[in-house]
Amino acid sequence: MTEPTPAFAFQLLEIFEGPLRDIRFPDASGEILASSIAEVQATHAALLTAEAALEAAKARLIEVQQVLTARSERALAYARIYAADQPELEAMLEPIQIRGAAKRGPGRPARASSVEESSPSLANPTRTRRGKRSGSSDANEQMELETDASAAAE
Per-residue model confidence as pLDDT tens for the chain (154 residues): 689 999 999 999 999 999 999 988 999 999 999 999 999 999 999 999 999 999 999 999 999 999 999 999 999 999 999 999 999 999 999 999 998 644 444 444 444 444 444 444 444 444 444 444 444 444 444 455 455 544 544 4
Q: How far is CA 152 from CA 23, 67, 88, in A?
A: 72, 12, 33
Domain that holds residue 83: 7-153
Please indicate, yes or no, if residue 1 is contained in any of the structural domains: no
Q: What is the pLDDT of residue 24?
A: 86
This prediction has a pTM of 0.52
Q: How far is CA 135 from CA 30, 41, 42, 70, 87, in A?
A: 85, 69, 68, 25, 19
Please indicate, yes or no, if residue 23 is contained in any of the structural domains: yes
Helix, strand, coil: what percent of the chain each, to 5? 65, 5, 30
Please indicate, yes or no, if residue 104 is contained in any of the structural domains: yes
Please indicate, yes or no, if residue 74 is contained in any of the structural domains: yes
> Dihedral sign, CA of 9, 10, 13, 18?
negative
Please indicate, yes or no, if residue 2 is contained in any of the structural domains: no
In this structure, the number of other CB atoms found within 10 A of the CB of residue 56 comes to: 10
Please indicate, yes or no, if residue 69 is contained in any of the structural domains: yes
Please indicate, yes or no, if residue 149 is contained in any of the structural domains: yes
Number of domains making up the chain: 1
Q: What is the pLDDT of residue 144?
A: 52
Please indicate, yes or no, if residue 100 is contained in any of the structural domains: yes
